[in-house]
Amino acid sequence: MRGPAADPGGYDCHRDHGPYAGVAEFLGRVAAARPRLASRHAVELHAIAPGLDHAARPAADEEPIRFHPARRTACLAYGATEFVVAWAGTLRRPVTVRFDHVDVADETTRELLDALSRRVGPYPLRLDLRDGGDARRDVADPTPAALRAAVGESLARGFYHHAARTARRGRAAVTATGDLRHWWAFTTGLATALAALDRATEALDLYDEARAATDDPKITMSAAYATAMLYARHLPAADQDPERARHWLHRALRLAAGLADPRQRLLSTVFYEQGVALLDSRAGEPARALRLIDDGLARLASVLAPGERPQDLARLRHNRAQVHLALGDADRALTELDTVIAHDPDNCEYYVDRAALHRAAGRTRAAIRDYDAAIRLGPHLPEAYYNRAVLQQQRGRPGRARADLDRVLAIEPGHLDARIALVNLHLERGAHDAAEAGARAGLALAPREPALLCTLGLVRSERGGSAEADELFTRALAGDPGLVEAWTNRAAVRFERGDVAAAVADLDRAVALAASAPVPHYNRGTALMRLGRWDEAARDFAHALAQPGLDRALRRDLRAELARCRRAGAG
């Protein structure tokens, strides 16, 4: 094969060459060698190596810029790894690919190489990862304008570590007094990157610095709005402050009212008011929020030409859909989301939201179609894979559900809900080794997670480790006393060990927590029979029989046990 295998040198991954340095070139050469395979991974490949998309414009030129979540790079790494693994499967001879300066690579490059290292090699594909020290590459010092463009491009593509480094470099090259416009671009760019990286407190300090450095009305207006959003969305939950957010929003609105350009005045006002609508909705005033959004859409319609700024209109309509949902009107929310997707069909977030509405209404196939779209556009959104897995399980397709859950954990190993669901699927099919390994892997990340302790306890009890299982269920209940499954399963272990009274006590707790669940009543009835308490056992069996949706086998067993109790009681 020609391409990566034939390259006598290595791929230079030094961060001075930007995000995905080295790996983007490698992926591009594989894509050129396998275009049909590359077409199935176009979204992630174009995001990592924009040069592969000949129709693309620079991301920062898009209007408006859509900021991606920071974890999107993990999704891109997963997709690119799947592409490389598929390519490696076609190799007819061993191939070694060398990557240089890995120790000073950008975070995106290291993340992708880590993902590749977990999945490939040593045969037929081997990765040769080499360090090289932090010597500066042979590149010219960029101008402030070039640095500013690089910050904008990195922010638009969601490469926040690189954006932050470049913005700091720009701030070191200019001053607020000497070049205010560039200084502000670097300052707000750095703040945006830090907020995306969960460092919003540092972003607050930057906006305070900007206000101290200038009273320029446009800069202070933008800083006020950004500060409001930090208090409303980005700070840790304990530090979020709706009243401070509202204060800064009103300050931004006052400054917007003073803009000389009437069109810009209207646009800024409408979009800042969306922040107020968000706060109103969160404060339990969705009707007031709806009035603001409706008014904003009407004012935009008065100044925008047909087809102009469709993503902005979609954003407001998406806000309106959320408010309709808060008002309990799922049908209007769905209609609004249909319109939103028509305006902005490439935004994965909208498909996830619409899928949730379909799912809540029982429209499983429609929900799965929307999750499919979100996964394609995202790409590889863990939450879309997870929710699709839940639906596939409900449809009786455990194999498809397991595949989706495996994908979630490949992208986001710490996704506990996916870990728990996958372990339970393994348990249901009797794959005890896989279930135990999955539970222990999850507990290595979250040692006190009650659901995983409970599931591991069930595995150990199935394998005869009743004492260990009892201890695991007890630990689970210490973390979550409301976990019915742990009470029920610990009762089963204690019943099998002959401690019937303790089993009944546990089942009393399970029944109190889930009075309509048939299994705890069935199990308690069985234990009460062992103690000769026939009338109480009969009441449990009768109660369980009265519950809707019983499967045929359980209904048959309950009837048989109830008849047995009645015979014993009569005797």
Other C-beta atoms closer than 10 Å to the C-beta of 106 total 25
Residue indicated by tokens 């499919």? 372
How much is the pLDDT for 1?
A: 39
CB within 8 Å of 130: residues ≥ 6 apart: 10, 98, 99, 100, 101, 102
Q: Residues 198-253: pLDDT tens digits?
A: 999 999 999 999 999 999 999 999 999 999 999 999 999 999 999 999 999 999 99
In a domain, 88, yes or no: yes
Task: Examine residue 325 and state whether it is found in any structural domain, yes or no.
Answer: no
**What Å distances lie between residue 383 and 43, 72, 192, 395, 438, CA to CA?**
18, 12, 24, 18, 19
| Domain-embedded: residue 367 | no
* Within a domain: 22: yes
Domain total in the chain = 1
Span 323-376, pLDDT tens digits? 999 999 999 999 999 999 998 999 999 999 999 999 999 999 999 999 999 999
CA distance 201 to 208: 11
pLDDT at 477: 97
For residue 122, is it within any domain? yes
Closest CA to 160 of 133, 134, 199: 199
Residues in the chain with pLDDT values less than 50: 1-6, 8, 62-64
pTM above 0.75, yes or no: yes
Per-residue burial over 133-163, b if 16 or more Cβ lie within 10 Å, else e, is eeeeeeeeeeebeebbbbbbbbbbbbbbbbb
Rounded CA-CA distance 507/543 in Å is: 14
- Does residue 108 lie in a domain region? yes
For residue 68, is it within any domain? yes
What number of helices (H) and strands (E) belong to the chain? 28, 3
> Under 8 Å CB-to-CB from 479, ≥6 apart: which residues?
448, 449, 450, 453
> Which token pair is 517?
């669940």
Query: Could you tell me the residue range of the domain that residue 124 belongs to?
Result: 4-129
Task: Tell me if 145 is assigned to some domain.
Answer: no
What's the chain's length in residues? 571
Instruction: Say if residues 82 and 209 touch (Cβ distance below 8 Å).
Output: no
